[in-house]
Amino acid sequence: MSQLRLYDYVASANCYKVRLLLAQLKRPYERIPVDIFAGETLTDDYAAKNPMRTTPVLEDEDGRFLPESNAILLYLADSTPFLPSEAFERAQVVRWLIYEQTDVIPTMGGLRFRLLVGRLAASDDDAIRRKQGGEEVLRLLDDHLAQHEFFVGERYSVADVGIYGYVHVAGEAGIDMQPYENLRAWLERVQRQPGYMNDLEPYPPNAAPGAGRSLYD
Ligand SMILES: N[C@@H](CCC(=O)N[C@@H](CS)C(=O)NCC(=O)O)C(=O)O
């Protein structure tokens, strides 16, 4: 059995979601920094771990590689209080983690990255489209939280960890959070959970267009 390892990019909220859960589970792990803008995901060695060439990737104690942040959350949360054992509630967690990937990331997640590193200007059509999409997503999430303390089963789970990743930095995507009162209260509830930490770092200069080599260039 080897040690749990996380192939990790420090400025990625997809990676931060996993780091947050690992901290809350108090699971020791080795953090392996991957500089995605220095071309480190473009090597054959990295493709052998993850053919999609994305971060995060978890290497478990048996030496098996698992890409996809939300798959990693589900795997790590198995048999813990962070994942309901009842089938319907468990499926609801999966439902929110799918929504996070299909709707949260392409809107506010993609917009935040592109604005912060200068790959889009706020006035670009693509930025406006992503911002409008982000506001629709936040409205849907806020409406859900008008009736619920947490996304599933009235208790904190990996559904909350997954959605928190990019929603807590929606302001950096130029989105005004003021209208989303329930979401703002939920963000504070998440931040009060035992073991909560935030080690998401700013994008480094090599994330700017033309400054590095990555899947985005
Ligand atoms: N669906 C994937 C998306 C992961 C993803 O896009 N990761 C970005 C950082 S947030 C990345 O590693 N990109 C690799 C590259 O640009 O070379 C997940 O949730 O893990």
210 touches 217 (CB < 8 A) = yes
39 lies in some domain: yes
For ligand 1, mutation pick of 52, 55, 203 (most atoms within 8 Å of CB): 55
| Residue whose CA lies nearest to ligand 1 atom number 15 | 215
State pLDDT tens for residues 17-49: 999 999 999 999 999 999 999 999 999 999 999
Domain that holds residue 106: 87-191
Kindly state whether residues 43 and 65 are assigned to the same domain.
yes
pLDDT for the residue numbered 88: 98
**pLDDT at residue 103 greater than cutoff 90:** yes
- Specify the pTM: 0.96
Kindly state whether residues 65 and 21 are assigned to the same domain.
yes
- DSSP bridge pairs for 7: 32, 57
pLDDT for the residue numbered 211: 87
Kindly state whether residues 62 and 117 are assigned to the same domain.
no
CA distances from 195 to 27, 52, 162 (A): 11, 31, 16
The structural domain count of the chain equals: 2
Residue 146 Cα to ligand 1 middle (Å): 31
Q: Which of 129-133, 144-148, 206-210 has the lowest mean pLDDT?
A: 206-210
Q: What is the mean pLDDT of residues 169-190?
A: 98
Residue 41 Cα to ligand 1 middle (Å): 10
Residue 147 Cα to ligand 1 middle (Å): 32
**pLDDT at residue 106 greater than cutoff 90:** yes
Query: In this structure, are strands 5-8 and 57-59 parallel, antiparallel, or unpaired?
Result: antiparallel
The residue behind tokens 């990790």 is: 8
pLDDT for the residue numbered 125: 98
Please report which residue ranges of 26-107 form alpha helices under DSSP H.
Answer: 44-49, 69-77, 87-99
Q: Which helix (H) or strand (E) holds 66?
A: strand 65-67
Question: Using a 6 Å CB cutoff, which residues line ligand 1?
Answer: 9, 12, 14, 36, 41, 53-56, 68-70, 101, 214-216
Kindly state whether residues 141 and 94 are assigned to the same domain.
yes
58 lies in some domain: yes
With cut-offs at 50, 70 and 90, classify the pLDDT of residue 177.
Answer: very high
Name the average pLDDT for the chain.
96
| Residue whose CA lies nearest to ligand 1 atom number 10 | 12
Kindly state whether residues 73 and 115 are assigned to the same domain.
no
